[in-house]
Structure 1
């Protein structure tokens, strides 16, 4: 006997309701994320409105953290086909993560200091302007192999330092893989980073790994409580009188805030944001962590994302109006926050401003916007139904980043 969740024996509306409830979203929150009214969501779910066009299907699938097939019941459609780009260097990075170069034991391992310097150089490339994913992809295969070799042969404190550098290398791999059709590899890199951080017996490395694991679970729409528990456990390992620890502690408070905002728990979200803001204030206005980029600029900028997730675009734009992105020493992060500002304008049907900001984000960091889910979903709609004066600009930008329209 089929169950009530069997896609072959449910309507589109029933499948949409099941997906929304599994994602833990109320109708008003889902409606805000989709740019529609709660009555529209209700009408979809009770069958008063039929199945929407593909761009809206893709948006709903992304909001609910499911595949389009979970909504349509049609196995011939896959959301990743339409929403996720694949980098030309993905096969090389995948090969580096799934194969092992077992160097002979007599081969001299790289010292932890040299390994750390190479990882730091990779972070600078990641945060720099231009095609940061391509630059990182060129380094990752050798960096992953050399980190593996050093961890295998070094002993004592040197091995623990190498393990911390290895964890950061996996963070870089996770960032490269994010928003590409390889969710299993994203989870793999997150898990390996956390394992390396724990083996290093380094609270600082564990805290950084918890921040990146939080991204994985949040993007997968997993329960907020699981994400919060991991972040809080990692935060308890840190000493707030140490600036390095305080930056990571603030980052974990920000991770919890973002997790609660994603599921509409406004009070909890802002309570943890206040803690992150306090940590940034104690570190000083000019502070920014060299590779985690935590500081006042990031805390302020993520408030914009939180307002968007809480369906408060007007408040998000108030934040954006006062935001100084020069305080964010990362082109990839600056581009992300420009996209978030565009998302707030899109939520208010302000297509002219949205397109202008997406163009600016593209100039800042082309590969950030190319692999951003909001951008890839909204551009086809702006081409077809946006303000006439910017439809051509939206079409050109879509072509530049490889989005079919």
Structure 2
């Protein structure tokens, strides 16, 4: 290994500070930027990394883990006695069946392929079922294997170029639905495989909406991979928007909505970078797009709508680490206007992050309990929710510690 090579923090028995420095460097964060996002001084970060200060307490470790997008605390602490997976949830029992369907080659002999109309009806049913269900991963995990195989077969069985493009658009959306199931499960390679296949199918379809949805999901995958991939997320978002803008005059609600969703993705990534002006600027553009939608319209894939913009404002403020502003936006948001149970649960988690950031830990826990009630499978797989709950199990306030422990038990965070 070259003398200037970066050591691997996951294999050598090195101390916490060294691991923190290696992981921070890999994420492309300077000490001053990391310190600002942690609410600490650059000198504190320097002292920790040099070992002049011992390992911080659990609440601070969890904030560092969130900042560095560490998926397992042992990657940061080196302590293998109590691994805590933060940003990847447990593998769902139906994951293997979905993986097998994605990886299979579909020939099916002489079996006639399902019609596009039939597949479209099944997709509509699947999206509706996802939004209604508290156990949404269980529901769509049961539908996906047959839907994936049938959509693949439909593409193979088409007779004309036009029919093939239509079938490719359907297949792309099936892959999009698959990403909602696979996300935050322990198979990132499968997630990227599905994202790439969805983008290929969308481009083959030449359908603006399909291309927009595939780009929207790909941008999220890049952004969630860490700061080193923020440029890739932006390139995906901006490129898709440039392609879709030519279709905007006279566009229907679903095409308009995917444009708005992509505009918010740009806001989200800017907020992750800490670029307040750009983040709120993109949010303003998305809000103007939302106002072009018919009242009550709700995009089945992205959840983009007029109602969702206040929830999006909470996310921007939280990612910018603006505690007071994020709480103000949380208070202003009308959660009753969100018809999707998993999306409502996600919004509750963002509200909880806002309250935690503002020092209102008790309210944060109460809000996470609401998220659990709306959709247990959403909070179970959400790294931010898991971090808050684990942090509060170490609270000095007995009642709060007990409340967090109960929620941690529900989420199986304390299981051996």
TM-score (norm 2): 0.89
Which moves more between the two structures, 62-71 or 43-52?
Answer: 62-71
Q: Corresponding residue for 2:220?
A: 215
Cα distance in structure 2, aligned partners of 1:36 and 1:87: 38
Q: CA deviation at 1:131?
A: 0.3
Q: CA deviation at 1:196?
A: 0.7
Distance 1:53 1:99, change over 3 A: farther
Are 1:201 and 2:206 counterparts? yes
- Number of residues of Structure 1 aligned to a counterpart in Structure 2: 404
Which moves more between the two structures, 243-252 or 259-268?
Answer: 243-252
Are 1:174 and 2:179 counterparts? yes
Cα distance in structure 2, aligned partners of 1:72 and 1:386: 22
Q: Corresponding residue for 2:231?
A: 225
Unaligned runs of 5+ in 1: none
Which moves more between the two structures, 260-269 or 57-66?
Answer: 57-66
Distance 1:270 1:171, change over 3 A: same
Please say if residues 24 and 263 of structure 1, whose CA atoms lie closer than 8 Å, have aligned partners that are also in contact: no
Q: Corresponding residue for 1:332?
A: 342
Please say if residues 251 and 294 of structure 1, whose CA atoms lie closer than 8 Å, have aligned partners that are also in contact: yes
1:240 is aligned, of 230, 242, 248, to 248
Q: CA deviation at 1:55?
A: 6.6
Q: Corresponding residue for 2:404?
A: 394
1:150 is aligned, of 145, 150, 154, to 154
Q: Corresponding residue for 2:328?
A: 318
**Structure 2 matches for 1:55-66, cutoff 5 A?**
57=61, 59-66=63-70
Cα distance in structure 1, aligned partners of 2:294 and 2:86: 44
Q: Corresponding residue for 1:45?
A: 49
Distance 1:35 1:178, change over 3 A: farther
Q: CA deviation at 1:300?
A: 1.9
Please say if residues 170 and 192 of structure 1, whose CA atoms lie closer than 8 Å, have aligned partners that are also in contact: yes
Are 1:3 and 2:4 counterparts? yes
Please report the RMSD computed on the Cα atoms of aligned residues, expressed in angstroms: 2.5
Cα distance in structure 1, aligned partners of 2:340 and 2:7: 46
Cα distance in structure 2, aligned partners of 1:264 and 1:17: 20
2:293 is aligned, of 283, 287, 294, to 283
SS in structure 2 at match of 1:237: helix
Q: CA deviation at 1:11?
A: 5.1
TM-score (norm 1): 0.91
Please say if residues 286 and 327 of structure 1, whose CA atoms lie closer than 8 Å, have aligned partners that are also in contact: no
Q: CA deviation at 1:157?
A: 2.4
Distance 1:43 1:337, change over 3 A: farther
Cα distance in structure 2, aligned partners of 1:27 and 1:324: 38
Q: Corresponding residue for 2:353?
A: 343
Unaligned runs of 5+ in 2: none
1:112 is aligned, of 105, 110, 116, to 116
Q: Corresponding residue for 1:123?
A: 127
